[in-house]
Amino acid sequence: MADLPTLRAVHALHVAAIPFENFSPFLGEAVPLDTASLEAKMIKKRRGGYCYEQNGLFKLILEEMGFGVRTILARIHWMSSPQDNPRGHMALIVDTKDGQYFADVGFGGYLLDAPLELIPNIAQRSPTSNFRFERTGELYILQVELSDTWHNVYQFTTEPAYPIDFEMANWYNSAHPQSRFRTNLMITG
């Protein structure tokens, strides 16, 4: 069951069913990351969420299906300068019978609509775009091709991140008065 076709199918279903949105932080509401809260918001109430919620729920689903999943922190480049952004975006590295794949169902800037094999310098086609990873030492940069030009989306290492890392990042993004999630309403789907 923990194979690439299953990962691709579940990834596609998730991004088709659950939109990226930041209504809760924008409205000043708390954004709890525990399992019961994620299930209540996105499954029972049929709401969306942002990366910690989306990828948090997706990780739980994949683990229940038998995938090995590691969370990582990324630094956003998309439509901003990386030096203006902390490492605060959650994404996933998924072990399958077919190799190691990168998955992210919770990026609101340029949605990754399929898992990508975690290999550098090879263009990979998703249903909507070409993506690739550039790699320098331990640092990966996810890029998307738009109008024949490669654009940086975010950078990361494969070092695992832990729930406490996301609690801190989630607090900043949902509660700090200067957080982009508090000052700009966003939805993609």
Enzyme catalytic residues: 51, 89, 104
What are 37's two structure tokens? 């809260």
Tokens 């932080």 label which residue? Answer: 25
Phi-psi region of 131 (alpha: psi -120 to 50; beta: other; left: phi over 0): beta
